[in-house]
Structure 1
Amino acid sequence: ACLLLIAQRQSSRRGEWFKAVWERAVAGLKNSKSKDEVVHGSLLAVGELLRRRHTENFMDQRFSRKSDSEEGVCDFVIKYKDSRDKLVRRTVNKLLSRIAAFNPNEFVKHYLHVTLTHLINAMKKDSDRATAFIAVGSIVKCIRGHIKAEAAKFRPQLHSIVALAREALSARRKSRPFCAEALQCVAELAGALGAGLMKDFFHEGLLDDMFNAGLHDRKLVDALTQVAEAIPALLIPIQERLLREISIILVGVPYVPPGAHDVFS
């Protein structure tokens, strides 16, 4: 809110104020002895500086590493990806997608590999997977052109992401509860990458896994809508699956169109 107020003021000193916030945030992130709450606050400040509607081009020259002694914002954020503090790790995950949106080309060139490796590992941890799934979906949306152009190179990571999403969408159990954020991730992947890279995953069981959320979950409806819009060939299978679930709820048996076999049996 403070940065937005600064941005709205017609003042020649805006650059000085942005610089002061940046330097204080960097000081908190550079100090290896900073307490977790200081690191968290510094990361939040960095996140606000990365909003172009607040700071316009102020962060352009501070985005990536210029030399061994001059780190960029990406380096400062990624440095804390393995923090022992849960809140710090979650904040890092959220910031990674904002970093990708700020400068997609530089992000792909210097930070994509380390970011995806980290987020795939974070998806395996119950404490971090929600923010990791959301971050991956947002990042893929930001860099979808690059992924489509380098599809063969990206495919192994895409397989890992989808496999972890399917695991997170598995039946609810106490030891590893259902993760609704995986629905959002799957929908974002479909929306960004389309049928060319995603259709086979749905035919191989991903669509069935999405329904483990149950029809009462609004996130399922939103995700299915996005998937159907991105991959029109899946519209009929989605409608048939919805009819099946509704029929089971209402009359206790799956719906089967007259004269047709049940494609989901």
Structure 2
Amino acid sequence: MTVANAPFLDHLLAQRAQYRYKLPSRPAAGQFIDQLMRLLFPVTQDCQAFSQNIDESYQSLNTQLVNLLCPLDTNLPDTPEALANQLFDRLPVIYDNLLFDAHAIADNDPAAVGMEEVVAVYPGFYAISVYRIAHELMRMNVPLLPRMLTEYAHGQTGIDIHPGAQIGRSFFIDHGTGVVIGETTVIGDNVKIYQGVTLGATYVAKSMAQKKRHPTIENNVVIYANATILGGYTVVGHDSIIGGNVWLTQSVEPHSLVFHQHQTDIRLKSLESPEPINFVI
């Protein structure tokens, strides 16, 4: 170390004292969620190997979660052991909801050949699964770890679901790349969204942190690719269809069809005339 580096190292030490939280390991958080998925849905060879002794795997995962919670100990509402047990006590309900999600994909996507494919390879199902587990941790007032889990899934799938969002049963994300679902979004049952959909805020201000900033999507809504729906007061009524590339910042009534209208000019040159012939679609 050179003398010139000493002030910078002192600065790093001073900065460390400013951090409010110690965080669990990011790789360990990813390993935990992936192994939990293997336990719940043992459809591939590595899943079957992990879950062969189901009691041992279950206890191992409980211990992993305790270890992830320990660095947050001073900011937890209960002991790491008690919180880990609470999450695992809620696993049956989480699992049932995930089965509804998997069936929604398998039953409605013509490309899906069965539940095994949905569970093993569909990024939408994986992102929803991680969200549902992280959401329970957030409901238990566990700080930061829920966001670490959903950001891990974001990195794996390109789907960004904040763990604070409220999502009903039978949720279907098709393809999924680029989907963003904000913290205060509320989504009802039997909702289907496609790639590139954003459920976001109209503007970002720190003073809005405790307010509803993101839209409400009621039951049985379909939102097609690259639609953007913004604002905490925006409600998409039940049984509506939002077309691709729509930009929506106001509520729509139930049973609405909202679509983006655009004009495409196609120009052809006539063999007899150098002037182009215009067609408007």
Shorter chain as normaliser: what TM range?
A: under 0.3
TM-score (norm 2): 0.27
* Higher RCO (CA < 8 A, seq sep 6+): 1
Superposition TM-score, scaled by structure 1 size = 0.28
Determine which structure has the larger helix proportion and give its number: 1
**Structure with more strand by fraction:** 2
Please say which structure displays the higher CA radius of gyration.
2
